[in-house]
Amino acid sequence: MGARKDQSTSYSRLTQEEVEAFCAQWWFDLKFNPVVPGLDKSIDQCPTGSIALYYRHFDFSNLCHPFSIFVLNVLEYYRISFGQIHPRGLARFLHFESICRAAGYDPSLLSFLRFFRLAKNGDWFTFETSQSIIPFKMIWRHPDAVLNELEPSDSELDSWFIKSIRACPSRLHPFPEPLLVLWA
């Protein structure tokens, strides 16, 4: 599959009523003043002070509000926003968070960096398996940027946790809501 260069040509088709119904379904308070972007505004034209979100981040990727500290740490570390992450990429890192919580661990940025790295596919960012799993590292972010974040050393991580995560890989798929509620 080729690089996806469609962020600047994809537009919302939602109405304001649909956005408000979305907020009710996903527990967003209307005090955040959710608005539909103009029909001629793409996600990469999000106004300053606003956060662009995709419905697919919630129904496919299992994103929940309020956002976890882990989610916010990953976004801050990579200096990216929700609107820049492909739903499959977001699903990968939320899946990692869920697996950690199911194993009784609080997910951390250091453990995440051991398994994943930021990658670019066209206009989108995503997360790929890190070089500790695959022996090469592709370097992308912005056409002019280089990704060279260091992976944590073995001594910085819980070795039992790393072994248990590697021993039980799981497929990427949406988790049922009752399971997400249980982990929250």
Mean pLDDT of 6-23: 80
Structural domain contains residue 42: yes
- State the total domains in the chain: 1
Give the Cα separation of 142 and 162 in Å (integer): 31
The region of weakest confidence among 13-22, 28-37, 51-60, 143-152 is 143-152
pLDDT tens-place string over residues 45-57: 777 887 878 778 8
Q: Is residue 130 part of a domain?
A: yes
Q: What percent of the chain has pLDDT over 90?
A: 11
- The owner of tokens 């308070």 is 29
Q: For residue range 60-96, list pLDDT tens digits in order.
A: 888 888 889 999 999 999 999 888 898 888 998 898 9
The whole domain housing 157 covers 7-169+176-183
Judge residue 90's burial from the number of C-beta atoms within 10 Å of its C-beta, 0-12 exposed, 13-18 middle, 19 or more buried. buried
